[in-house]
Amino acid sequence: MLIGAALIELALPEADSIKARRRVVRAVKDRVRQRFNVSVADVGDPDDRHSVSLGCVAVGVDPRHLHRTLEKVVRFVEGLGVAEMVEDDIMVVRLDEVEEVDPPDFEDEPFDWEEE
């Protein structure tokens, strides 16, 4: 199994609030998911209203297809014109070549259902 990942860095110089930032993020994520059937998440600092980092991930067996799909995602986001493209990075890796990260130990922290 192959994993294709893209990191898309956007600048929002005119965003006057965190709410404006969230509105842009939500619109971009929804459009990308609908059009390309990839997973998309805001992976940047949610308190920085002037920048957005989006992570897009797809899985498959053909590295060329994954790379082309993610390139199309990047061009699509840039073409939306809702933010300035600062940087993008695309990578396709084999699952067995990825370094596994140990999950955090949650046993020491009781979950408080009322906080959610």
**The overall pTM is greater than 0.75:** yes
Do residues 39 and 56 touch, judged by C-beta distance below 8 A?
yes
pLDDT over 60 (residue 81): yes
Describe the strand order of the beta sheet including 84-94 as a list of residue ranges.
Answer: 39-42, 51-60, 2-11, 84-94
Confidence check: pLDDT of 115 > 70: no
With bands split at pLDDT 50, 70 and 90, how would you rate the model's confidence at 116?
very low
Strand ranges, E, within the chain: 2-11, 39-42, 51-60, 84-94
pLDDT band at 22 (very low <50, low <70, confident <90, very high): very high
> Domains in the chain, ordered, with CATH?
2-96 (3.30.70.1120)
- Measure the CA–CA gap between 39 and 29, rounded to whole angstroms: 9
Q: Which of 5-14, 27-36, 105-114 has the lowest mean pLDDT?
A: 105-114
At residue 101 the predicted structure's pLDDT band, cuts being 50, 70 and 90, is confident
